[in-house]
Structure 1
Amino acid sequence: MSMQLVVKVFSRRMSIALNHYREKYEKDSIRLIFKDSLPTERLTFLLNNVFDVLNGRIPKEGITISNWHNKKKILDQMLRCLELTEQAFKKQSKNMVIVKSMFVSNQTLFGWRLTINSVIQITEELFNSGYSLVLTGKMNQDILERFFGIVRSYDNRPTAHSFLQIYRALSMSQTVKCKLKKANADDKEDVYQLVSYAKCWINRFKECERKAAAMKASLRDNLFDEISIRYVNVIQNDEKDVTRNNLIYDLCGYMFQTRGQLISCQECKETVVCEEADLPDDFTAKQYTAFRNRGGLIFVTIPVFQSIREVEKIISSQFEDDGHYLVRDSYEICMSKIKVLNLCPFFCDTPC
């Protein structure tokens, strides 16, 4: 959903259109359809004015001491509208056998009141402190969400690596890329581009992609060579954390259900996937999956579960420390630990 398009519904243009179809349209049949649209027109016009008051981003749209009286009157009208609407609903619900839900939730009403009252109090406090201009659009914007939106404009599904690259690029470029007039960068403000980093970013991205592909292939081959010489037939059971084992087993089934197309060999599938009845009765790790199962969940064999559980231990231990995000090359560290594990072999012996 685009909020920009939603807000356009409650615009001055929409209220004018409602008035036109009700009062001035040529066909009587159309005017009849809109004969009761006056309250909707007034509400739409009021919402448009409230949005204008709450979204001032440049000085000519901001609140000054001279125009504060008129703009505060608009906000007070909105608060009064919310109060009357809520009172009318409560009065109507008392006389109804089946109470219908209100057109907005209580959380929405609370949010409206909180926003409007906060803007009124903050604005008056700033004026009392000596400020002469208030840009309300800077108050109601989630800066962190806006930053994530900028990152997603470069990469809609960023990985940890690409997010860090974009963050570094933005931190560097925004300070020298634009010369701003008036206030913070905005679509309506004057922005003059001095330098373009497009080619630099593209070349850097391609270089990172090549390095990542080469590193991935090297780690995969090294991992397979190391693990294949350390295969064992049995891994010691770990019943200390039953809940964790249940979740890991359920995750194993989900993993092979969503990526089953990667296994084309029928013999390999038989070593990985099994039926619930094939598992021992004292195998407690299957309990959560069996409880949720309505016929569509996948049960994996015990060697698969035990191997994934050992890998999970390595990954969990890597991120137990609160400062793990400061550790470089966590992926490579985890892979170096995984390749020396003693895991159970699954999949068939023939290459496929």
Structure 2
Amino acid sequence: MQRHPDGVTAVDTEYVRPGLAASHIIEHEGRAAFVDTGTTHSVPLLLAALDELGLARDAVDYVILTHVHLDHAGGAGRLMQALPQARAVLHPRGAPHMIDPSKLIAGSMAVYGEARYRELYGELVPIPSERVVTTQDGQRLSLAGRPLEFVHTPGHALHHQVIVDLEHRSLFTGDTFGLSYRELDTEQGAFIVPTTTPTQFDPEQLIASVDRLLGYAPQALYLTHYSRVTDVPRLAELLKLQIHEFVKIARSHRAEANRFNAISADMRALWLELLRRHGCTLTEARIDEVLGTDLELNTQGLIAWLDRERKG
């Protein structure tokens, strides 16, 4: 657990490695909300965090999901079973997949195989439909008088939403505003990278969503990967620069037989160059450890986007 300003606490969900994925608890006037949950394996950690904060389980009003990718939402159903007053708050495109997660399960097993899927995510528990609230773009909910606004932000996924903590100029951004791992921090501050994972990455939508979020003039961002960052305008420019470069890289290798290796190599070279400029002194091997999974997923996302662009 890490306590942040304004009643926000980050809980490491211990997905894959420490410092990779966070769930955030917003606490206000004795009431609470979770933003993202990690996996089913994360639920005991989230409940222990409530205990440490002195919050009863019936003090949680909302379990808010930025989107239904399983590192963000896989534990939501199991967590809801332990929170008798909570409602799950979802984008309308994502809600059906948490009420009936069979397609999520089948798709994930197809990617990982059943054994690895179980290891990563455990059992997905459906959320009863009567406990689900779907949001409209711009809708607000109140957490004990603290207004939270929901902004639909396609680009990473069509069913993605960002939560705006209006009174504190903070955003809970899921994956829309990229990933920022604390291992890559330097004296210049945080480093950030986009996440273009399959299957719905769209660069124009993602840049438009980032620009829309900048319109709130946020002072802090709470990223699922990983937690609080500030200096938002600089990070936004770095993020958008990379999205543009990713598009150039992908298109330059569109016709090659081994697009995956070519795109991956160029993305890795871009990150290494940007990290050197950022003052990062980690070895290339250590950088590969931190960013290797994202390099693979981003490359897959760019190839899926190239194929959609060609068809359409």
Using the size of structure 2 for normalisation, the TM-score is 0.29
Using the size of structure 1 for normalisation, the TM-score is 0.26
Larger Rg: 1
Question: By percentage of residues, which structure has more helix?
Answer: 1
